[in-house]
Structure 1
Amino acid sequence: MRTGAAADHAGCFHAAMYYGSEAELAEALVPFLLDGVATGEPTLVSAREGVSSVLRAALPADSGVGFLPGEEYYARPAVTIRAYRKLLAEYVAEGFEQVRVVGEVPAEAATWDWWARYEAVINEAYDEFPVWGVCTYDTRSTPSWILDDVARTHPRFAERDGAHRASPSYAPAALLGERRVPAADPLQAGPPVFELRDPNVAFVRQALAAHHGGVLSAAAFGDFQVAVDEVTTNAIEHGLPPVTVRLWRGETRLVVTVTDGGAGPTDPAAGLLPAAKARWAASASGWPTSCATTSPSAPVRTAGAPSGSPPASRPGGRPPRFRLCARRFRRVTPGSTLRIQVNGTCVPLRTQRDDHHPCGGLLPGW
């Protein structure tokens, strides 16, 4: 049986809570957490250290409240949904009828578009579970325009006295359908390392391998390539030409954008809900991706910036192997010379036929 304000509610009871001081935070959430423990419900805090430390200090010792690593749980929206759905399913399988969670979604301008969509879709993504979630937002540091989105993505607000009030501007579907073009990464102010027009996926992989510059560790770069593969594949298979792939490289991170001529995903939850296939694998792989859901020619951006990653070195000394699809290079014949311009440098490539490639590709020789 469910308890508290969610007693008569089926599914996800999703609320936002604003606070303007540490005292207000503790005043609102300590009773919520202790009531959950007292009724035998799994009661969790998933927040960054600032919020977690305030609540730990305000709770009695051995309170029974569980603390999850918020930085890990809120690393990427698709990863967050996958982790919570797994956790909630486990609690339900054990027979619990309600789970209480205090969460802290990153409310930062650079990534808010991802998290606004997250807040909008979890009303559906978690609705099969008896979860009572309270999302905390610090009004001292959260921009007003983000707070406006919070009101549009949360059905209700939790007050400090334990009461709840409906959000008059709640409209998650409208937010998901807006033409939101993500803000450009600062690296994009300069020229890209390369720009590829209508490449195939193998070509993009090899171009990344040749020009990532050792910014990421070998393991991190492998994951990054998977994310770029997924985004590029979706642009080729589900978008419209031209498909353009660009790479920017900083001292500690990479930014790739993939743009096509299509109108964007028709499903506004693409990349977040398990049923939405578009870009799901790329998002779930741990690399952030963003796009405008309805804006034509809006880029999907994939960025990799793991902190403290040691420089990677490409094993061996052979140059990268590029396979060029014969369907796009109809006039190229085996033994001819191609010139590919990368970052202002023309690279001559001798070609040979690769009959094992499904489209009869031309594989540059050495």
Structure 2
Amino acid sequence: MRTGPAAAESGYFHEALCYASDDELLAVAVPFLLDGVTAGEPTFVALGERTGGLVRSALPADSGVEFLTGAEVYARPTAAIRMYRKLLADLTAGGADQIRIIGEVPPPSLGSTWDWWARYEAAINRAYDDWPLWSMCAYDTRITPPDVLADVAATHPHIATARQRHLPSPDYLAPESFLRQNRPAPPDPIQAYPPLLQLTDPTAAQARSAVHQAGPGQLSAEDLDDFVIAVSETVTNGLRHGSPPVRLRLWTAPDRIVATVSDTGKGPDDPYAGLLPPADGRPGGLGLWITYQSCNHVTYHRDADGFTLRLTAGQPPGLTAVAQSEPPGGERRPGGSGDQQLSSGTRP
């Protein structure tokens, strides 16, 4: 039998926990976790090293709460979705009536790669809805930018507060509506310069060869192989499902490779393309699913010229410029607290 505010739900109860102090985090997280153990529910923590340590130290010894490595769980959105879907399926197959998880995306992800984590937060409303999950996604308002908090409010149906209240989010959008928004991502700074290489209507083999030529020195052999697959799959999708011409452009920096693949079509109709595995097993959606798991950042946009996917392997720019893993002492950025409602580089 399900417990807490999720008792009336048949699927996923998805909450945001936006806190302005370590005490506020613990005031919500500790009862949430201990109540789950008391109810016999599988109960997990997938927080970062600092916040996970705070929670661990606040719990009694041998509490029964299981700890996952947050940085590994949230390495990439699709990797997190794949891991959690398997975990949830295994636990419910074992008889679990409800599962509790509190987690957080790594603080650096609140910066230049936030757009695909925002899509993750929207997509999991569907991705996890087959299982009796109650999760809290923790966001420290001292280090979370206001635009990120607005996305949090739009992607979480519920908000947990420091006063043990569980409120509906007035700004919540259905995931399909959120995912269909055309949200242009800032260009990588190296895109201000002419691309190292540009090909029009390349074959998949030509695309693979181009990445192999550009990649040595920027990436490890394993990461380069993954990126070759991602670019090849994206070019193949453009040729099969897009409108000509299909253009591949490559830029390189000492720590990354950026590729864009564009065509004059409108892009995939499925708002979950890339984030969820194809439901019916057709190969049309499999390429993007593979691509999202093979890159360190994937973003897209539509404009008058058509549809463009941008793939990044290596270290996306600006990851440490916006958020630090340790909140600044005594300093708070704008954001929610207590029961407050959320509202809406250079080339080398």
- Bin the TM-score by the shorter chain: 0.7 to 0.9
The answer to whether the 8 Å contact 1:178/1:294 transfers is: no
2:123 matched residue in structure 1: 121
Between stretches 258-267 and 291-300, larger displacement belongs to 291-300
1:257 matched residue in structure 2: 260
1:288 matched residue in structure 2: 297
The answer to whether the 8 Å contact 1:227/1:287 transfers is: no
Cα gap change, 1:34 to 1:104, in 2 (>3 Å): same
Secondary structure of the corresponding residue to residue 306 of structure 2: coil
Kindly report which structure 2 residues correspond to 1:1-366, keeping only aligned pairs within 5 A, or say none.
1-106=1-106, 107-171=109-173, 172-275=175-278, 277=285, 279-292=288-301, 297-305=306-314
What amino acid is aligned across from residue 126 of structure 2 in structure 1? E
Q: Structure 1, residues 327-354: CA drift from partner, whole Å, max 9, x if none?
A: xxxxxxxxxxxxxxxxxxxxxxxxxxxx
The answer to whether the 8 Å contact 2:295/2:312 transfers is: no
The answer to whether the 8 Å contact 1:79/1:286 transfers is: no
Cα gap change, 1:296 to 1:30, in 2 (>3 Å): farther
Instruction: Give runs of ≥4 in structure 1 deviating > 4 Å.
Output: 293-296
The size of the alignment, in residue pairs, is 307
Q: Structure 1, residues 179-203: CA drift from partner, whole Å, max 9, x if none?
A: 1122211222222211111111101
Identity of aligned residues (%): 49
The answer to whether the 8 Å contact 2:302/2:308 transfers is: no
The answer to whether the 8 Å contact 2:217/2:254 transfers is: no
Q: Structure 1, residues 40-89: CA drift from partner, whole Å, max 9, x if none?
A: 11110112212211111211222111111111111111111111000100
Cα gap change, 1:218 to 1:17, in 2 (>3 Å): same
C-alpha separation in 2, matches of 1:49 and 1:293: 38
C-alpha separation in 1, matches of 2:215 and 2:293: 22
C-alpha separation in 1, matches of 2:271 and 2:179: 5
What amino acid is aligned across from residue 311 of structure 2 in structure 1? T
C-alpha separation in 2, matches of 1:14 and 1:295: 36
Q: Structure 1, residues 193-223: CA drift from partner, whole Å, max 9, x if none?
A: 1111111110111111122232212222111
What amino acid is aligned across from residue 99 of structure 2 in structure 1? V
What amino acid is aligned across from residue 35 of structure 1 in structure 2? D
Between stretches 261-270 and 101-110, larger displacement belongs to 101-110
C-alpha separation in 2, matches of 1:295 and 1:84: 37
The answer to whether the 8 Å contact 1:181/1:298 transfers is: no
Question: Aligned-residue CA RMSD in angstroms?
Answer: 1.8
Q: Structure 1, residues 18-45: CA drift from partner, whole Å, max 9, x if none?
A: 1011111111110101111111111101
C-alpha separation in 2, matches of 1:84 and 1:296: 37
Secondary structure of the corresponding residue to residue 291 of structure 1: strand
The answer to whether the 8 Å contact 2:296/2:315 transfers is: no
C-alpha deviation, 1:232, in angstroms: 1.1
C-alpha deviation, 1:15, in angstroms: 0.5
C-alpha deviation, 1:246, in angstroms: 1.1
Structure 2 residue ranges without an equivalent (≥5): 280-284, 317-348
Secondary structure of the corresponding residue to residue 301 of structure 2: coil
Secondary structure of the corresponding residue to residue 11 of structure 2: coil
1:349 matched residue in structure 2: none
Secondary structure of the corresponding residue to residue 115 of structure 1: helix
Q: Which has the higher contact order (CA 8 A, sep 6+)?
A: 2
C-alpha separation in 2, matches of 1:299 and 1:263: 9
C-alpha separation in 2, matches of 1:128 and 1:290: 27
C-alpha separation in 1, matches of 2:209 and 2:129: 42
The answer to whether the 8 Å contact 1:268/1:293 transfers is: no
C-alpha separation in 1, matches of 2:114 and 2:307: 17
Cα gap change, 1:263 to 1:9, in 2 (>3 Å): same
Secondary structure of the corresponding residue to residue 264 of structure 2: coil
